[in-house]
């Protein structure tokens, strides 16, 4: 009799876990469908990087690598520049951090910078945001402090 209770409990537990997995799968599909209907692009994550880490010395090199692209956008002024003009900056960043940018495109990199609120995209035009200008100023100051 105790063996029967253990076997029944195991079956009930198994079916409960299967039901929870099915519910989670349904919720995930529903969320993906809502995102697709709204036209939102999925979040672009570059190896878990975020602008909040920019002050951490461990990530200094990664965020310094973003400076040429941000500087180009800053120099372009309020109107910004065409996304293709950032290609050389993107290639440079990819060469410096191939393990982070493996498989990423220029558009995904720009979306990452937009997600971090450093740039703003409007069609094919990209411009730096006020937060991006502040970020650029801080990174240039930090770079000057490190090199002197």
For residue 33, the cross-strand partners are: none
Beta strands of the chain (E only): which ranges? 81-82, 119-122, 125-128
pLDDT tens digits for the chain (148 residues)?
888 899 999 999 999 999 999 898 888 778 777 766 665 555 555 555 666 677 777 777 888 888 899 999 999 988 899 999 999 999 998 998 888 888 889 998 999 899 889 999 988 899 999 999 998 998 888 777 665 5
pLDDT score for 110: 92
pLDDT score for 9: 94
Task: Give every strand in the sheet of 125-128, ordered side by side.
Answer: 81-82, 125-128, 119-122
What's the pTM? 0.63
Q: Which of 87, 53, 60, 59 is nearest to 72 (CA)?
A: 87
Query: What single DSSP character describes residue 46?
Result: S
Check whether domain 51-147 has CATH 3.40.1350, yes or no: no
Q: How far apart are CA 99 and CA 101, in angstroms?
A: 6
């Amino acid at each position: 009799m105790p063996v029967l209770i253990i076997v029944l409990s195991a079956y009930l537990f198994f079916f409960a876990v299967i039901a929870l997995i099915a519910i989670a799968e349904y919720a995930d599909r529903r969320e993906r469908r809502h995102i697709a209907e709204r036209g939102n692009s999925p979040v672009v994550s570059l190896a878990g990087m975020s602008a909040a880490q920019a002050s951490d010395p461990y990530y200094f090199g990664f965020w310094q690598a973003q400076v040429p692209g941000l500087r180009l956008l800053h120099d372009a002024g309020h109107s910004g520049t065409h996304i293709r003009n950032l290609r050389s900056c993107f290639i440079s960043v990819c060469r410096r951090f191939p393990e982070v940018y493996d498989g990423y495109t220029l558009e995904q990199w720009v979306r990452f910078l937009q997600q971090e609120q450093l740039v703003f995209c409007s069609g094919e035009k990209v411009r730096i945001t006020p937060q991006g200008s502040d970020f650029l100023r801080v990174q240039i100051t930090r770079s000057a402090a490190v090199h002197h």
